[in-house]
Structure formats: C-alpha cells, structure tokens
Amino acid sequence: MKINAYMPARIVSGKNCVADNAALLSRLGKKCLIVTGGGSADKSGALADCVSALESAGIAYERYGKIAPNPTVESCFEAGTMARECGADLIVGIGGGSAQDAAKAVAIFAANPDMRLMDIYTRTIPAKRLPLALIGTTAGTGSEVTGVSVLTNGATGRKKSISGADCYADVSFCDYRYTLSVPFDTTVSTALDAYCHAAEAYLATSCNDLTALYGLKAIEMLHGFVGAPSPDALTEGLREKLYIASIYAGLAINISGTDFPHTVGYYLTENYGVPHGKACAVFMPVLIGRAKKYCPEKLGAIEAITGYEASEMAARIKAAAAVDVTISREEAETVAQRWSAGVKNFDRSPGGFTVADAADALAGV
C-alpha cells in the first residue's frame, strides 16, 4: 500500500472563491499579466471577478488574450515576452485546459529571457518561473492541480507535454459557476476528458492507493453523465459535481499519469480536429478490454461503483464521444511509428502497449 504524491498548489473552491480570496493574489505580485483565450474568460464572468480581485488587492494588470485551443509554444513565447516587456511579476491564467496550460509555459518563458522557443521542452527542471494563479472555466482538464502543461509545436502541429515542479500553480481558484456558460457539447467533451483521466490513472500500473481514492471518486461522480449525456441533466448542482470530479480526476493523473488513450488521442485532435476529451474517450473500449485481461479486480471496482458491466460502460462512453472519423490500416500503421522510440503512457497501460497495438487501436476507431 503506497500513497506517494506531490501537489504543491493551494486549491480554493466554491462560489465567489476568487473575490473571497483576493488576498492570495496580493501575496504573489504587484503587476499581473492575465492569460486567456478568446471568449470563455469573458463569458463565464471569471475575467470580471479576477479584475475586481486584482483591483481590490492593488495589483495592476494587462491581458494577453490570444491563446487558441491546443495552445502553441509560439503563443506562449509571445505572451512570455509581453509579460517581461510590461514588467509583470505575476501570471494569472483564466480558461479551460488550453489557457491554464499556456499560462504555465508563459510563466516560465517570462522568467527566462535567454530561453529560446523549443528550450521549453529541454529546460533545466524546475526552471525559474513567475508566480502563477489559475482560474478554471471548464470541468475537465484538471490542470489546476497537475504539474503538466500540454503544448503544440506550431511548426509540426504535434502536441507534447512538459512537466515538473515548475508546472504547478501557486494557487488555483475553482468556482464551478464559471462552467455554467459552457455549451452542452463542450461540457460532454470535457467530462469525457475527466472520466478518461480517472480511469486511465486508476488502471495504470503506476496507480497507488491515493490514485485509486481520487480516481474511483471521480468515476463515481462522472459516470451518470458521461454514460448518457443529456442537456436536461445539466443543472447547477450537476455542473458543480462535474467540476469537483474533474479536480479529483486531476489529482489522480497528477500522481499516476495517463495511459495510451491520451497519447493516441492526440493524433485525432491534431489531424481531424476532434476535441481532446472525445479523442481520448474513443479508445476507452480498448483500455477496458486490456484491463479485463490484466487487472480484472480493478475493473470490478469500477463496475461496483457504476453498476454497469465495464464493456457496456466503455461502449456508452465511446457513443457519447460520437467521433465520426475513419482511419485506414495503412494510415494507422504509418502514424503509429511516431511512438516507436517508446512512450511512458504506453509502458504504464495495463499489460503494456506497443506500436502495433496503437496501429490496431487507430484502425479500429
């Protein structure tokens, strides 16, 4: 029985948590660069609350609002340069996984003027970074509580994560009300992402007792919605539940990481524009199939919680993802070669996972 874990970010949650905890920001800096995407920070009300909190704490601010979904290293570099030029000593990221992950890289670029674009992947870990606060607006990413940031190389279009002690926030604000304006389809995708985080971390060979605690708790909270998503179900109470579940799932991957669905799913996002959560959920039946063979007792725990036979649950999740992509055997074989140098996510998947397995999974989409 092991409970190894490291998660240094302070979490505050609940209604008005940004306003109620403005003092936490005043300890971090005097001039802030707010990092956001195009719309959710404004629409959700999170930006307005953040600005009020900064003003009440006497912190000046500017905004970089050009973070796109699947944020590029280039945009983070640009925002990092802007942070230095405007004298920012604090970064606040507001948004879903894209804006939060980007803010982590921005805080690193801002503190390291000599760092070139791709040095973000090879930096000395931990690199210096500016103080960092995150405000989540979607229920899925878990970036609020992980030491990971997934970035896209703008030149190649490929997603690749960075991780380390420098990729944790100092403080994460988790007010579920910011998720109330998220459209139904996006809510399905982010909930699927959270479900995959929980299932992948729990089924990973790297799972410890604390992962199991967080992962199974998240599955318990998420399975009803992801098993049969319906717009009518999205009450305020369920929105709150989905957001807190995404934090539990984030705590699970923070300890044990994700498995092959997250790695192979990147390809569907990069080449077919499939939203991240749906791109991972497509591979849930393959993951469950392997778990049945290699760790049936864990699968039994999921079945006991959800009340579904595991392969039925996986089929429901794949149906909820509703991904309409067909990949030929030839394309699958070619793409799978990109993982031939070895991937941690493959190694910790139940029973291991090979390049040939990845080709089979892609061809089976």
Query: Which residues would be at the binding site for Fe ion (CB under 5 A)?
Result: 193
Which whole-number Å values give the CA distances from 229 to 97, 190, 192, 252, 351, in the listed order? Answer: 21, 12, 10, 23, 31
On the 0-12 / 13-18 / 19+ scale of CB atoms within 10 A, 27 is exposed
Residue among 21 and 206 whose Cβ is closer to Fe ion:
206
The count of other CB atoms within 10 Å of the CB of residue 319 is 13
Residue among 170 and 193 whose Cβ is closer to Fe ion:
193
- Beta carbon of residue 262, minimum distance to Fe ion (angstroms, whole number): 6
- Beta carbon of residue 207, minimum distance to Fe ion (angstroms, whole number): 17
The residues, any chain, with a CB within 8 Å of residue 317's CB and separated by 6 or more, are 192, 195, 226, 227, 281, 284, 285
- Beta carbon of residue 107, minimum distance to Fe ion (angstroms, whole number): 21
Q: Which residue is nearest to Fe ion (CB)?
A: 193
- Beta carbon of residue 268, minimum distance to Fe ion (angstroms, whole number): 13
Q: Could you give phi then psi for residue 94, rounded to 5 degrees?
A: -125, 125
**Which residues share a beta bridge with 91?**
33, 132
Residue among 49 and 193 whose Cβ is closer to Fe ion:
193
Residue among 265 and 285 whose Cβ is closer to Fe ion:
265
Kindly report the length of the chain: 365
Considering Cα of 336, then 140, then 61, then 43, what sign does the dihedral take?
positive
Residue among 44 and 269 whose Cβ is closer to Fe ion:
269
CB 175 within 8 A of CB 167: no
- Beta carbon of residue 318, minimum distance to Fe ion (angstroms, whole number): 16
